[in-house]
Amino acid sequence: MSDYSFLINRYPEFVTKDQFYRICHISKNTARYYLENGFIPCINSGKKTRRYKIALKDIIFFLEDRDRNPEKYYLPNHYNNPFLPGKIRRYNFKPRPDLYKHHYKLKGINDVKDYRQYLELQFADYPDMLTSKQIQQVTGHSTKTIISWCESGKVKYIRHRYAYLLQKKSVIDYLFKRELQQ
């Protein structure tokens, strides 16, 4: 087992992903996989460059743990295999719950006594003309689905440049009728 204490003298307290993959002798892609999947605790700024800030003590712990049980850090079989097609080769990340913090799904008609009143209450804070993004926040439907409602004539809307402005009453009526049919 190696002693990695010499790294403390060579590197600062926090390092970037670029320094991390060089310290560990791994590829950039493998380093990104370890960071995005929580193998190594890091601070993710969300920027495109210099995105990760990793504590050196966490890297030393990672290297020692990797020496003790390397099977814990094996990559998935499909990951970065050059003989597989690109779609399969790329790792599909699981959606994180904080990505959907502004979106939620409406309750069903069986869960609420007066469903129309429930819908009106959900849309009460919004103006009479709604953008597809605002409807997405309330209903949880994708913008593509909401635009398909417009184009098929299910809701009343106005097209303003490239945006669809939907009438709130029309959206509530459509959602209510759709729940009655199910």
Measure the CA dihedral 169/174/175/180, to 10°. Answer: 130
Domains and CATH numbers, the chain: 6-89 (1.10.10), 115-181 (1.10.10)
**Per-residue model confidence as pLDDT tens digits over 39-98:** 899 998 888 888 899 999 999 999 999 899 888 888 776 666 556 666 665 555 555 554
Q: In what order do the strands lie in the sheet with 157-160?
A: 129-131, 163-167, 157-160
Structure tokens at 151: 């184009």
Contact 119, 178 (CB under 8 A): no
Tell me: pLDDT of 104 over 70.
no
Tell me: pLDDT of 38 over 80.
yes
pLDDT band at 116 (very low <50, low <70, confident <90, very high): confident
3 state DSSP class of 166: strand
